[in-house]
A and B are shown apart, each in its own frame.
Chain A
Amino acid sequence: MFSNLAEKLQSTFRQLKGKGKLSEKDVDTAMRDIRLALLEADVNFKVVKDFVTAVRERAVGQEVMSSLTPGQQVIKIVNEEMTRLMGDKQSGLAKSNKGQTTIMMVGLQGSGKTTTAVKLAGHLRREGRNPLLVAADIYRPGAVKQLQVLSESIGEKCYSNLEADPVEICREGLQISEKESFDVTIFDTAGRLHIDDEMMSEITGIKNEIKPDEVLLVVDAMTGQDAVNAAASFHEALGLSGVILTKLDGDTRGGAALSVRKVTGCPVKFVGTGEKIEALEPFYPDRMASRILGMGDVLSLIEKAEATIDQDKAKEMEKKLRKQQFTLEDFRDQIAQLRSMGSLDDILNMLPDGGYIPKEIKQMSLNEDSFKVVEAIIGSMTGNERQDPTILNSSRRRRIARGSGTTVQDVNRLLNQFNQMQKMFKQMNLADKKGSSKKMKKVKKKFPF
């Protein structure tokens, strides 16, 4: 419903246009939109209050009111405030100067500590470090085995001791790490509730024993209003040094990131984007900001496209686009390229909602089967038809359907999607000429079609 705050704000301000100056009451309306969007994104309600107050102050005082595009001005302020709160820049892991770096994973049950511990080990290995994992969860059935299996899967060592208590295990692990010239030790601890006094004092005990350089709180990105309670308690008990946000590969807006950041003051250092051990990424405050605001993670998308798309092909495509010679064959190539970027779900998740991408295209399912259908349909067309689909009357469509083993509806749907895509390019070209947003230009350049 509030999937795109940017659009909502634009429309609110559009309604207010022509009234000369905006009143404070007009601004209130916009602030309500912002409040709703943030609450829908699971930002804690107290954090939302503070945030809206800050944005309001800036919005009312400044040139916004008299600006010709107050909507855009407010969006800019919202985005800036949000990015500022998320932390202006990326922060990496602490590196101890005493040779050994120690990292402790803590958090609620099931948040992703064990998986993330191994992900971090993999990351550190790629940075040329030599990590040891320590299995200090003696409670959850199979927890030690889980850490062992995951460590082994990437060829890392894991220390465990089924006879000892967690504090002992950690002490032993650290000793072994020092003796055998590992230079990073990562401690996986049991999941626990922040109100479980016994378990909280256990983890304080571990912390006092190993005096870690990093105490990382692992937070599930789907967490709701309660994120602040757990984060505040863990921070109070342990003095956190950073946060890792997991399961961001889903479609959650991840407002918990802002809440946790606000109550602990700790930076988010990494994000988890999948179950695979490689699925660990640096945290980009600006991207998280636009995700929470529902403005789509346009930048991530650009990077992903950059990594997978054949740049020469992309240039050629851009030329074609400019001349508006985008044919059905190009359409098929583009879909094939999109598929090679990974799961389409992932990609679509990162696109701004609404906005630039027509819904016919967003709803296109690009799994293996539907791609075969696209191939079959286009394969059943004559060369002329592919170059100029406008000649496809109903008898031609019937022939193609028969030839490709599909239905006329399938053919119509594909042509409709193609038309939408063409239309989208036209709009992009137009917008480009008018000097549209920088972001969109970037997308256009890097996007495969």
Chain B
Amino acid sequence: MSLIDQFKNGLARSKSGFISRLDGLFGGGEINEAFYEELEEILVSGDVGVQTSVKLVDQLKEEIRRQKIKAREEARNLLLQLITGIMKPGETSVEQDEQPFVILLVGVNGSGKTTTAAKLANLYRQERKNVLLVAGDTFRAAAIEQLEIWAARAGVELIKQQPGSDPSALFFDAINAAKARAVDLVIGDTAGRLHSRHNLMEELNKIHRVIGRIMPGAPHRVLLVLDATTGQNAVAQAKSFNQSLAIDGLVLTKLDGTARGGIVINIADELKIPVCYVGTGETMDDLAPFRPEEFARALLED
């Protein structure tokens, strides 16, 4: 069978190939080396990464030995527990005494920042918050128009400047305006940037500093927007962005595809950065708080 057929028969169409394989794996039979090997493979194929997969399987082995577990079914539950133990959900409340609460969205190119900004605006607008969007990507072609359309759809205000203008200056104005207008929540979009670009990371750092100068303690939540299809490079992304401006949480986007986003386990484990929300589509309503149980099940079964 050619490789392409394998994929067609397997995972390509839906996640069902994955499920049946796992049913086979956890359905019955004894717990042996082959079982562990296949388990490791499933984790690796979900982008968990070799090191973290091996670590998880080793921990599982240890627990199975300690608890004298014999059935694969029970082993699955143990693994689910292990993963959910690492994946504590990030904070999503935007309540605080002093207004406004400021969220800043950052990430590499095309990960879904602008769409997530719209989704968040929509979410908190529905909670009757007075939301202000900031079109902080002054660089990419039509990025401002993109967020402008979203802002209109979500029914929230938008602060913008000319394309090419200094984003720090824009945020300076935006936070001041938010204070004056009794805004509850400011959501700032930023231009996509690869974490390896020193000067672009500096720019982000400057935006952060400017916001903090006008409102000490702000931004209150910096979210790294991560595409679920990303492989091992996501760890480098999280490290660099975290170094530049202390990331509070992740938004894992595009989970409606066939990728399972397993790399966030590594990020949560190593960098202690939790996932706050997941993106599951291209409309404003396709955003949900992160639920570790669901995530782990999707990674391992359905």
User: Of residues 30 to 51 in A, which have CB atoms within 8 Å of B's CB atoms?
Assistant: 36, 39-42, 44-47, 50
Chain B residues in 8 Å Cβ range of A108: 229, 254, 257
A353 vs chain B, min Cβ distance (A): 13
B143 nearest CB neighbor, chain A only:
A142
Answer yes or no: A110 CB below 8 A from chain B CBs. yes
Answer yes or no: B140 CB below 8 A from chain A CBs. yes
Answer yes or no: B46 CB below 8 A from chain A CBs. yes
Answer yes or no: A222 CB below 8 A from chain B CBs. yes
Answer yes or no: A317 CB below 8 A from chain B CBs. no
CB <8 Å contact, B3 and A50: yes
Chain A residues in 8 Å Cβ range of B229: 108, 220, 223-224, 226-227, 230
User: Of residues 341 to 377 in A, which have CB atoms within 8 Å of B's CB atoms?
Assistant: 343-345, 349, 365, 367
Known: A263-B3, A263-B7. A249 touches B232 (CB 8 A): no
Answer yes or no: B58 CB below 8 A from chain A CBs. no
User: Of residues 201 to 246 in A, which have CB atoms within 8 Å of B's CB atoms?
Assistant: 220, 222-230, 232-233, 235-236
CB <8 Å contact, B197 and A224: no
- Kindly state the separation between the CA atoms of A180 and B227 in the bound complex, as whole angstroms: 40
CB <8 Å contact, A343 and B231: no
Answer yes or no: B219 CB below 8 A from chain A CBs. no
CB <8 Å contact, B44 and A232: no
B50 nearest CB neighbor, chain A only:
A39
CB <8 Å contact, B257 and A46: no
CB <8 Å contact, B194 and A46: no
- Kindly state the separation between the CA atoms of A148 and B256 in the bound complex, as whole angstroms: 29
A372 vs chain B, min Cβ distance (A): 15
B15 nearest CB neighbor, chain A only:
A195
Task: From A226, A247, A343, give the contact of B259 (CB < 8 A).
Answer: A226
A336 vs chain B, min Cβ distance (A): 18
Task: From B149, B199, B260, give the contact of A142 (CB < 8 A).
Answer: B149
CB <8 Å contact, B45 and A141: no
B149 nearest CB neighbor, chain A only:
A141
- Kindly state the separation between the CA atoms of A430 and B143 in the bound complex, as whole angstroms: 54
Answer yes or no: A256 CB below 8 A from chain B CBs. yes
CB <8 Å contact, A195 and B14: yes
User: Of residues 31 to 54 in B, which have CB atoms within 8 Å of A's CB atoms?
Assistant: 41, 44-47, 49-51
Known: A112-B110, A222-B230, A224-B232. A230 touches B257 (CB 8 A): yes
CB <8 Å contact, A109 and B254: yes
Task: From A1, A142, A229, A251, give the contact of B258 (CB < 8 A).
Answer: A229
- Kindly state the separation between the CA atoms of A343 and B263 in the bound complex, as whole angstroms: 29
Answer yes or no: B122 CB below 8 A from chain A CBs. no
CB <8 Å contact, B7 and A229: yes
- Kindly state the separation between the CA atoms of A44 and B13 in the bound complex, as whole angstroms: 17
Chain A residues in 8 Å Cβ range of B181: none
Answer yes or no: A165 CB below 8 A from chain B CBs. no
Task: From B13, B141, B143, B192, give the contact of A153 (CB < 8 A).
Answer: B141
Answer yes or no: A285 CB below 8 A from chain B CBs. no
- Kindly state the separation between the CA atoms of A252 and B234 in the bound complex, as whole angstroms: 9
Known: A111-B110, A224-B259, A275-B140. A45 touches B232 (CB 8 A): no
Known: A109-B282, A343-B198, A343-B199. A45 touches B145 (CB 8 A): no
Chain A residues in 8 Å Cβ range of B13: 195, 233
- Kindly state the separation between the CA atoms of A145 and B11 in the bound complex, as whole angstroms: 36
Task: From B45, B147, B153, give the contact of A45 (CB < 8 A).
Answer: B45
Task: From A42, A145, A345, A367, give the contact of B231 (CB < 8 A).
Answer: A42
Answer yes or no: B288 CB below 8 A from chain A CBs. no
CB <8 Å contact, B4 and A222: no
- By size class, the interface of chain B is 35 or more
Known: A46-B3, A149-B141, A193-B257. A349 touches B196 (CB 8 A): yes
CB <8 Å contact, A229 and B108: no
- Kindly state the separation between the CA atoms of A250 and B45 in the bound complex, as whole angstroms: 23
Answer yes or no: A8 CB below 8 A from chain B CBs. no
Task: From A193, A226, A262, give the contact of B47 (CB < 8 A).
Answer: A226
* Proximity bits, B139-151, A CB within 8 Å = 1, else 0: 1111101111110
CB <8 Å contact, B3 and A142: no
Chain A residues in 8 Å Cβ range of B111: 110
- Kindly state the separation between the CA atoms of A161 and B254 in the bound complex, as whole angstroms: 28
Chain B residues in 8 Å Cβ range of A9: none
- Kindly state the separation between the CA atoms of A413 and B44 in the bound complex, as whole angstroms: 42
A39 nearest CB neighbor, chain B only:
B50
- Kindly state the separation between the CA atoms of A139 and B254 in the bound complex, as whole angstroms: 16
Chain B residues in 8 Å Cβ range of A42: 47, 231-233
Answer yes or no: A194 CB below 8 A from chain B CBs. yes
Chain B residues in 8 Å Cβ range of A150: 141
- Kindly state the separation between the CA atoms of A264 and B2 in the bound complex, as whole angstroms: 11
CB <8 Å contact, B230 and A36: no
Chain B residues in 8 Å Cβ range of A53: none
- Kindly state the separation between the CA atoms of A245 and B44 in the bound complex, as whole angstroms: 23
- Kindly state the separation between the CA atoms of A222 and B195 in the bound complex, as whole angstroms: 12
* Proximity bits, A107-135, B CB within 8 Å = 1, else 0: 01111100000000000000000000000
CB <8 Å contact, A224 and B47: yes
- Kindly state the separation between the CA atoms of A90 and B227 in the bound complex, as whole angstroms: 30
Answer yes or no: A70 CB below 8 A from chain B CBs. no
Answer yes or no: B249 CB below 8 A from chain A CBs. no
Chain A residues in 8 Å Cβ range of B197: 343, 345
Chain B residues in 8 Å Cβ range of A230: 229, 257-258
Chain A residues in 8 Å Cβ range of B233: 42, 222, 250-253
Known: A36-B50, A142-B146. A226 touches B258 (CB 8 A): yes
Chain B residues in 8 Å Cβ range of A249: 194, 196
- A253-B232, A255-B231 provided; 14 other pairs, C-beta below 8 A? A41-B232, A45-B44, A45-B45, A112-B110, A142-B145, A142-B146, A226-B47, A232-B12, A247-B108, A250-B194, A251-B236, A263-B7, A345-B196, A345-B198
| 15 intermolecular pairs with C-beta atoms under 8 Å apart | A39-B44, A46-B6, A108-B254, A109-B282, A146-B145, A153-B141, A195-B258, A222-B231, A224-B234, A225-B44, A225-B231, A236-B4, A253-B233, A343-B197, A365-B198
- The 3 A-B pairs of least Cβ separation, nearest first, read A224-B231, A110-B110, A142-B146
